[in-house]
Each structure stands twice: as C-alpha cells, then as structure tokens.
C-alpha cells in the first residue's frame, strides 16, 4: 500500500503522551474497580460490544450511575497532523477518507462533515465513556470521534492478520480506520441514530445484536467503497493488499473470536458478523464502489 498521493488530515487529535501520563484510568468509570474495568475491556474487545453499554450495566450492578451520565467530553487536544510515522499514516488514511466521502456526498447533493480521530495510549475519557486499549478502535456518535490506540495495529500483525511484516499489514490498518469512518458516514446519513433508537425499543438482546450485525457489516462495505474510490484515484494498492485485508476481516469475525475465546459459538451474541459475512460485504463495497450496494439493513440474506 502506498500513501504518497494521500492528503494528510488535520483532524487528528494526538493525546497519546498525555493519556499515558494520566495513568490509564481517566474519570468516567464511576465506582468500578480496576479489575471490573479490565474484564469489561476484554469482553468488549472480543465481542465488539459498545464499551459504554457494558460500563452502563456494570455500574448499575455496583450502584453507580449510568454510562450516559458518566460520559462527558474528551480532554481538549489541538487537532493537527502527527509527525511520527504511525500518526502520520493514520492522518494520511483519514485525509483520503475525507476527500473520497466528500466527493461521494457532493455527487448526491449532500455535504460531508468529517469526524475527528483521537489517538490515545492505554485509556481515554470521551463522549462514550472510558476508551480502553483492550476495546479496540471504535466510533462514538455522541462526540463524533473515532478512538484509536495505535497499539491495536500490533495486534493486527501478531494476533489477527498474521502479516509477514508490518508493511504487509498497512492496508489492513487502513481498513480498520475506514470501517470506523464508515460508522461516521452512517451517522451523517441518519442511519446510525435510527438503528440505535430501534435497538433501544427492542426487548430482546438477540434482536438488538442482529441489528448491530447489520450496522457493522454495512461499515465493512462502506470501507470497501472508500478503497474502491481511492484505488481509482491513486492506484495505491499493491498485489496482495486486498487479500490481506480480507484475511483481517475474517480473523475478527464474531464466530472466530468466540471460538477462540470460549471454545464454542453463540450466534445470538454476534454483534459484528461472521468471518465470511465480513469478507463478503467488504468485497461488495470494494468491487462495486457504490453506497447503494451496502444496504445490509434491507438485505434478506447477510
């Protein structure tokens, strides 16, 4: 993967040094102990569950407040373009998602408002509560930020993708960023708030999870749409890049993670989709390059 022609975004908030110096336990976790927070982080990381939901449930059990009450603003950090190699790579990918989605929205007569991306180390307080490294990257609709501890890229190489080198993992890393940007696109289109409202009205957690799977698979597809448009613009992909990204998508499917974590699979608990589904919907977006090809909410078969 080559990023020479990408424009770096100035919407990156780099809080890696300050968040690490705060000791990794910012406010917003109520009266929860460190052990509970770590367990919540691990569960969220394995199963892709919004950490604010898990924190909310744990706080109720321990007599604390709700996550929405505890959620606040992320610490003020000036936005810009990091100068270190990892931070600059993130800024370059984010910048190109901004350019491609601005073009796509403009073609539909709409205006795209890009998200901020918050880099942190270990833990960070934000609009959706406590962000922990173990939770993996996620998008917070409350403050329209993507939260990313770049140590997750090490996990892609060592735990998930099985890349032969860090360079071979670059497009997988870009896919992860583009997936979270996909959630922001859903937010911009009004899809995300609508689905969140529907989920809150459901009495069955299994049905709420099924809706979440459709949202996550759509974000995979939207990541593919970005990659398609970026390839048309820059011809930035090297042989094997897409295969590596598909391998990463398969590695972080709910079925595979549950099998590794507990030895068996519980489909009703899925929140991101199976390995095969994640690969297929990313491919749909990459091969077609059209947002219309990402309608997972109406699809009869995922």
pLDDT means per 10 residues, the chain with 302 residues, are 96 87 46 40 45 35 34 80 95 98 98 96 84 79 91 74 66 91 96 89 82 90 97 94 78 49 50 78 96 94 84
Q: How many CA atoms lie within 13 A of 295 on its CB side?
A: 5
Quote the pLDDT of residue 22.
55
Quote the pLDDT of residue 162.
54
The domain spans of the chain are: 12-294
pTM of the predicted protein model: 0.80
Quote the pLDDT of residue 25.
44
Quote the pLDDT of residue 256.
43
Quote the pLDDT of residue 154.
80
Tell which residue, 256, 267, 34, has the closest CA to residue 134.
34
């Amino acid at each position: 993967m080559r990023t020479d022609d990408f424009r770096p975004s100035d919407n990156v908030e780099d809080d890696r040094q300050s968040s690490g110096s705060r000791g990794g336990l910012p406010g917003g976790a109520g009266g929860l102990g460190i052990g509970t927070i770590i367990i919540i982080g691990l569960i969220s990381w394995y199963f892709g569950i919004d950490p604010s939901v898990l924190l909310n449930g744990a706080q109720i059990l321990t007599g604390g407040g709700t996550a929405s009450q505890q959620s606040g603003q992320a610490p003020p950090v000036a936005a810009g373009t990091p100068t270190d190699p990892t931070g600059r790579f993130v800024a370059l990918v984010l910048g190109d998602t901004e350019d491609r989605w601005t073009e796509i929205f403009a073609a539909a007569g709409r205006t795209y408002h890009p998200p901020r991306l918050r880099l942190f180390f270990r833990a960070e307080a934000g609009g959706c509560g406590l962000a922990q490294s173990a939770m993996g990257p996620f998008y917070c609709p409350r403050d329209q930020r993507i939260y990313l501890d770049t140590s997750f890229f090490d996990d892609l190489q060592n735990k998930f993708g099985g890349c032969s080198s860090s360079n071979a993992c670059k497009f997988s890393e870009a896919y992860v960023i583009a997936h979270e940007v996909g959630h922001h696109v859903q937010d911009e289109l009004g899809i995300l708030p609508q689905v969140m409202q529907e989920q809150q009205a459901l009495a069955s957690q299994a049905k709420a999870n099924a809706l979440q799977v459709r949202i996550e698979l759509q974000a995979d597809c939207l990541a593919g749409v970005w990659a398609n448009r970026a390839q048309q613009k820059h011809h930035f992909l090297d042989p094997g890049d897409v295969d590596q990204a598909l391998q990463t998508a398969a590695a972080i499917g709910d079925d595979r993670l549950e099998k590794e974590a507990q030895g068996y699979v519980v489909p009703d608990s899925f929140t991101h989709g199976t390995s095969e589904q994640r690969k297929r919907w990313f491919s749909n977006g990459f091969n077609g390059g059209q947002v219309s090809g990402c309608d997972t909410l109406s699809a009869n078969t995922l």
